Amino acid sequence: MSHETRPTALPGEPPVTEELVRDHKLTDSEYTAIRSLLGDRTPTLTELGIFSALWSEHCSYKHTKPVLRRFPTTGPQVLQGPGENAGVLSLPDGWAVAFKIESHNHPTAVEPYQGAATGVGGILRDVFTMGARPVALLNSLRFGPLDDPRNRYLFAGAVRGVGDYGNCMGVPTLGGEVQFAPCYAGNPLVNAMAVGVLRADDLITARAHGVGNLLINVGASTGRDGIHGASFASEDLSAESEARRPQVQVGDPFTEKLLLEASLELIESGIIVAIQDMGAAGLTSSSAEMAARGGVGVELDTSLVPTREAGMTPYEIMLSESQERMLVVAEPHQVEAIQAICRKWEQDATVVGRVTDDGLFRIVHHGQLVASIPGQPLVDGCPVYHPDAAEGPEAVARRAATPGAPDVDPEEALRRLLDAPSIASKRWVFEQYDGTVRGRSVATPGGDAGIVRVDDTDFGIAMTVDCNARHVLLDPFEGGKGVVAEAARNIACTGARPLGITDCLNFGNPERPEVFFQFVEACRGISEACEAFGTPVTGGNVSLYNQSPTGAIDPTPTVGMIGLLDDVRHAVPSTFRQVGDAILLIGTTRGHLGGSAYWAEVLDAVVGPPPPIDLPRERAVQEILIAAAAKGWLGSAHDLSDGGLAVALTECCIGGPWATVTFGADIDLARHADAVSDHGWLFGEDAGRVLLSCSPEHVSALQALAAMHGESAHYLGLVGEPEGDVVVRRDDRRWSWPSRDLRRIHLDAIPRRMSVPVLAGES
């Protein structure tokens, strides 16, 4: 390879000017830092591109590092915390679970189908890079209202993209969420989460070591896809950025399926030192990060990288975000064995570089040295920023406000809530996702959490993604706690014990104090809740600059949580199962309407303080659910979230997405929380509440169990006849709805709106 020490520009390469530097989204102070790093010389174009990628917000976390450091990340169950491609928690019998969530928001705004599909492809690679076989997917989606054709187009395209990629990979999608709000119209959110299982001792990390070891490019060849994707993901979406739009990344799930099998076989065979997927900033970040983690240098020869198009420059090859590629480190004598395994799976494996002892990140192209950068500072030498954080006055005002509109009659209000796409059934969405492939799905979408059985054991992994962005907007700290609390409640409702989380922090421009305030406070809330629940943060992803001409998105810190269900035969469904079962409500009702879906969707007012979160009591509720499920006392359990008791009761009565019967119910609120208003009782969103059903003989035992944990299980009434009415009584008031009508409204809300054609053009 090359022995020069000073990199030189390639013929015809533009000189690095101040303008070019600004074009690469590097500030003057960052550029000064770069020059001094390089011994006060001007970087080559290739070096500039490499810095712009690794020092982008997306790769460097330069605005968020100090805040993220405060997350609790340890616990007896943690095998791998933040810093690797995915977090890993230990399971019984030597098993482990690897999981991670990641955003693909900006690519989705540009091209929803490919943007969402490649988001799923990327998160799957993060998981199998750890040596884990992907066993489940989840997705968290945010779009503008469905009455706008552009939003319908983005929504339909993203859902199809998520589905097509995961379906082709043979990984079931077991959970997710979809919300609609005007703030996402210019800037949709697509967060994809993957869950994989592995034997704990097969865990492999992405650390390059062993001077003289080789770097091997495995998988698809490199094209001009998504060049500058990393810095693209770190700027506001504007007309101008649309123009500078990078070549769209196209996903190939067929190749990824083969790459998955090849990678797992390489890892199991024990013949490789390290493996790392090529995600954002492709070859650049994968090689530089592996080298930095291992404290070594690397030299890459870009002229050896298989390319899809002729005449690609080292700049393009280093920054390409072509999908379905992995970088492997191995001892030279293993190359043939590696190529044999790759051939079996019809994947190319090409030596493109080697591990060096000088700590330098060197790029050679046809024998010419085009980049030579000190490796460690390249990866973590980016200046770190401490932006101002201050709550905006309008946020304070919003929290203090109350709706202008008068209350709506409860029977009508519930119908409108169920017809709101954010609350309505998401069957139209998850029917496009294979939920049963692999034959291990214990709970498919439609309940509180998905459950997948681990291989042929008795235990299962419960999983959910949640974020009530409205609550976070109104009070980032309480809202942040609430996100973790809702996720944990969803997990515990199935009978599983929460183990840990991964987070995807979607926010606006951090350089705006009111946005950074939301970020800091939400993270503080998430941290406190994770401490209280013993569910450490094992990794995640930050997506900032979710900012369109119409302003910043609501703060959307999505949490993906994993839980352990000791015996999948004890999995608790979320809907009523038996006429005559007793209906109990765990938790305390104060009629808290601030930040509620009722105010937002029916009274059109996103105002008020969200419900405060009492962490010890949340924990108590989880313990009650886990214990009761293990005893087999629960017919069903469903947490109260958007829309409060009325919506939760409806969801329990109308059955799951494929149910053929609906149940009536008759509950009486008298003698419970008398001070609470009718609307507060029906639609209030006090946290820490769960609606249970059980056969009558277990009522007293359940109430004793609840009392033992300092909670109460209020007896509300009975599950009614098939196709019966849902009846709620309170003193002299009586509200009632035919259960079948409620089901129809809940199920038709989204399909009805999507039956109008969606446009491909006019993007």
Partner 1 sequence: MMFRVHVRVTPRPGLLDPQGTAVEHALHALGFAGVGGVRVGRAVDFALEAADEAAANADATRMCERLLANPVTETFTVAVES
Partner 2 sequence: MRIAVIRFPGTNCETETIEAVRRAGGAAQLIDYRETSLGGCDGVILPGGFSYGDYLRSGAIARFAPVMQPIKALADTGGIVIGICNGFQVLCEAHLLPGALLHNAAQRFSSRPVDIRIERADLAVTREFAEGECIRIPQAHGEGRYVADAETVAALEADRHVVLRYVSVPGSDMPHNPNGSVADIAGICNPAGNVIGFMPHPERLADPVLGSDAGHRFFTSLVQAGAVEMTG
- Under rule CB under 8 A, residue 250 binds partner 2: no
Could you tell which of partner 2, Mg ion, partner 1, none binds residue 412, using a CB distance below 5 to 8 A set by kind? Answer: none
Of 58, 228, 679, 698, which one is the catalytic site residue? 58
Q: How far is the CB of 89 from Mg ion (least distance, A)?
A: 24
- Under rule CB under 6 A, residue 461 binds ligand ADP: no
Strand, helix or coil for residue 383: coil
- Under rule CB under 6 A, residue 743 binds ligand ADP: no
DSSP-derived secondary structure letter, 40: S
Of the ranges 294-302, 410-418, 445-453, 604-612, which one interacts with ligand ADP (CB under 6 A)? Answer: 445-453
H/E segment holding residue 338: helix 335-344
The answer to whether the beta carbons of residues 501 and 73 sit under 8 Å apart is no
Q: Which is nearer to partner 2, 83 or 722 (CB)?
A: 722
- Under rule CB under 8 A, residue 316 binds partner 1: no
Could you tell which of Mg ion, ligand ADP, partner 2, none binds residue 448, using a CB distance below 5 to 8 A set by kind? Answer: ligand ADP
- Under rule CB under 8 A, residue 235 binds partner 1: no
Of 24, 63, 104, 746, which one is the catalytic site residue? 104
Q: Which is nearer to partner 1, 63 or 152 (CB)?
A: 152
The answer to whether the beta carbons of residues 738 and 727 sit under 8 Å apart is no
Tokens representing 639 are: 């947490």
Binding map of Mg ion across residues 619-658, x = CB under 5 A, - = no contact: ----------------------xx----------------
- Under rule CB under 8 A, residue 346 binds partner 2: yes
Q: Which residues pair with 447 in a beta bridge?
A: 445
Dihedral angle computed from the Cα positions of residues 642, 647, 651 and 657, in that order, rounded to the nearest 10 degrees: -60
Strand, helix or coil for residue 561: strand
- Under rule CB under 6 A, residue 446 binds ligand ADP: yes
- Under rule CB under 6 A, residue 643 binds ligand ADP: no
Give the residue, chosen from 4, 147, 309, 604, that forms a contact with partner 1 under the rule CB under 8 A: 309
246-285: contacts with partner 1 (CB under 8 A): 247-248, 250, 252, 254-255
Distance CA 423, CA 348 (A): 46
DSSP-derived secondary structure letter, 445: B
H/E segment holding residue 82: none
Could you tell which of Mg ion, partner 2, ligand ADP, none binds residue 179, using a CB distance below 5 to 8 A set by kind? Answer: none
The structure tokens 């993007």 sit at 763
Of the ranges 107-115, 381-389, 688-696, 703-711, which one interacts with partner 1 (CB under 8 A)? Answer: 107-115
- Under rule CB under 8 A, residue 102 binds partner 1: no
H/E segment holding residue 625: helix 615-631
> What is the number of alpha carbons within 13 Å of residue 250 lying toward its C-beta?
10
The structure tokens 């046809």 sit at 366
- Under rule CB under 8 A, residue 743 binds partner 2: yes
CA 406 to chain centre: 37
Q: Which is nearer to partner 2, 20 or 442 (CB)?
A: 442
Of the ranges 159-167, 378-386, 542-550, 680-688, which one interacts with partner 2 (CB under 8 A)? Answer: 159-167
Could you tell which of Mg ion, partner 2, partner 1, none binds residue 243, using a CB distance below 5 to 8 A set by kind? Answer: none
Could you tell which of partner 1, ligand ADP, partner 2, none binds residue 257, using a CB distance below 5 to 8 A set by kind? Answer: partner 2
Secondary structure string (H, E, C) spanning 100-143: EEEECHHHHHHCHHHHHHHHHHHHHHHHHCCCCEEEEEEEEEEE
Of the ranges 173-181, 474-482, 615-623, 741-749, which one interacts with ligand ADP (CB under 6 A)? Answer: 173-181
Q: How far is the CB of 241 from Mg ion (least distance, A)?
A: 32
Compute CA distances 469 → 181, 207, 276, 560, 642, whole Å: 10, 36, 33, 14, 11
289-308: contacts with partner 1 (CB under 8 A): 308
> What is the number of alpha carbons within 13 Å of residue 601 lying toward its C-beta?
24
Of the ranges 175-183, 275-283, 579-587, 603-611, which one interacts with ligand ADP (CB under 6 A)? Answer: 175-183
Could you tell which of ligand ADP, Mg ion, partner 2, none binds residue 446, using a CB distance below 5 to 8 A set by kind? Answer: ligand ADP
Give the residue, chosen from 56, 222, 622, 641, that forms a contact with ligand ADP under the rule CB under 6 A: 641
**CB neighbour list of residue 499: distance below 8 Å, 6 or more residues apart:** 77, 89, 97, 535, 561, 562, 563, 564
Give the residue, chosen from 7, 81, 163, 294, that forms a contact with partner 2 under the rule CB under 8 A: 163
> What is the number of alpha carbons within 13 Å of residue 331 lying toward its C-beta?
5
Q: Which is nearer to ligand ADP, 152 or 398 (CB)?
A: 152
**Active site (annotated) includes residue 365:** no
- Under rule CB under 8 A, residue 535 binds partner 1: no
CA 577 to chain centre: 31
**Checking phi first, is residue 326 left (phi over 0); if not, alpha (psi -120 to 50) or beta?**
beta
- Under rule CB under 8 A, residue 85 binds partner 2: no
- Under rule CB under 8 A, residue 311 binds partner 1: no
Give the residue, chosen from 111, 236, 277, 466, that forms a contact with ligand ADP under the rule CB under 6 A: 466
Could you tell which of partner 1, partner 2, ligand ADP, none binds residue 490, using a CB distance below 5 to 8 A set by kind? Answer: ligand ADP
Distance CA 223, CA 283 (A): 12
Scored b (16 or more CB within 10 A) or e, 359-397 reads: ebbbbbbeebbbbbbbbebbbebbeebebebeeeeebee
Nearest Cα to Cα of residue 551 among 116, 144, 64, 108: 144
Distance CA 207, CA 210 (A): 10
Strand, helix or coil for residue 619: helix
Q: How far is the CB of 466 from ligand ADP (least distance, A)?
A: 5
Could you tell which of Mg ion, ligand ADP, partner 2, none binds residue 426, using a CB distance below 5 to 8 A set by kind? Answer: ligand ADP
**Active site (annotated) includes residue 104:** yes
DSSP string covering 280-327, please?
TTHHHHHHHHHHHHHT-EEEEEGGGS-BSSTT--HHHHHH---SSEEE
- Under rule CB under 6 A, residue 47 binds ligand ADP: no
- Under rule CB under 6 A, residue 753 binds ligand ADP: no
Give the residue, chosen from 47, 236, 252, 554, that forms a contact with partner 2 under the rule CB under 8 A: 252
Tokens representing 359 are: 């700590």
Q: Which is nearer to partner 1, 580 or 757 (CB)?
A: 757
The structure tokens 């008398």 sit at 674
Give the residue, chosen from 284, 313, 322, 334, that forms a contact with partner 1 under the rule CB under 8 A: 322
Alpha helices in 406-453 (DSSP H): 410-419, 427-430
317-346: contacts with ligand ADP (CB under 6 A): none
Q: Which is nearer to partner 1, 298 or 349 (CB)?
A: 349
Distance CA 28, CA 384 (A): 14
Compute CA distances 655 → 47, 475, 523, 739, whole Å: 58, 33, 35, 10
Q: Which is nearer to partner 1, 115 or 508 (CB)?
A: 115
Give the residue, chosen from 21, 50, 110, 593, that forms a contact with partner 1 under the rule CB under 8 A: 110
Give the residue, chosen from 448, 581, 686, 711, that forms a contact with ligand ADP under the rule CB under 6 A: 448
- Under rule CB under 8 A, residue 568 binds partner 2: yes
The answer to whether the beta carbons of residues 625 and 637 sit under 8 Å apart is yes
Which residues in this chain contact partner 1 in the complex, by CB under 8 A? 110-111, 114, 220, 223-225, 245, 247-248, 250, 252, 254-255, 308-309, 322-323, 756-757, 759-763
Active site residues: 58, 104
Which residues in this chain contact ligand ADP in the complex, by CB under 6 A? 139, 141, 173, 175-178, 426, 429-430, 433, 445-448, 466, 490, 639, 641
Which residues in this chain contact partner 2 in the complex, by CB under 8 A? 160, 163-164, 167-170, 252-255, 257-258, 345-346, 430-442, 453, 456, 458, 568-569, 571, 657-661, 723, 743-744, 747
Which residues in this chain contact Mg ion in the complex, by CB under 5 A? 641-642
